[in-house]
Amino acid sequence: MSVVSESGPAALADVSRSFDRNRTLVQDEISEVFQRVDPAQVAALVTELRLADRIFVTGAGRSGLVLKMAAMRLMHLGLNVHVVGEITAPAIRSGDLLLAASGSGTTAGVVKAAETAAAQDARIAVYTTNAGSPLAKAASAVVLIPAAQKTDHGSALSRQYSGSLFEQVLFATTEAVFQSLWDEDAASPEELWQRHANLE
């Protein structure tokens, strides 16, 4: 089936109704899962962020993109943040934190990064759907996001496609974490803006 179709008035009305229905679907699913994220788990992760000398973020695909956005916000707060895989990222060491995201908790590159961090006595904090995963077991702080995994195509947890709900709630959670840290920091938006990229 092609996504290209007629664009007459009837077709546009169908798209409008479909969008309205699916906007509600996405909003409702995000709200329901976001409300089930445990604040105590988030508090443990925030403690790890506070105590870390440096923070390294890693994730694959869309989860990785979300954590890159989170890294930018942490940088705005003045934290020392690196994105794993970027050419300027240094070696991780004791006193550092690896902040990782994987819905399944089994993504090979992310699990390998956690193993390397652990071997260097760095701390690990993760966002995942799977408490029994290798990634979660390696971590000192785990935030469970109770969404469907991307390969769970028949899940009753979400009508959205392949991991979308996990990634959406991951983004919302990282934004709430940023806001919570900013509440404590008491810096003005103008102070944070001084750290924003100016080579864009």
**Residues forming the active site:** 167
In Å, the largest CA–CA distance within the chain is 62
Q: What is the DSSP letter of 51?
A: H
176's tokens: 């709430």
Q: 182: closest CA among 96, 99, 78, 95?
A: 78
Query: Assign residue 53 a region: left if phi > 0, alpha if psi is -120 to 50, beta otherwise?
Result: alpha
Q: What is the DSSP string of 57-106?
A: EEESHHHHHHHHHHHHHHHHTT--EEETTSTT-----TT-EEEEE-SSS-
Q: What is the DSSP letter of 115?
A: H
Tracing tokens 């060491």 back to the chain, one arrives at 93
* Residues in the chain, overall count: 200
CB atoms under 10 Å from CB of 118, counted, come to: 16
CB atoms under 10 Å from CB of 39, counted, come to: 11
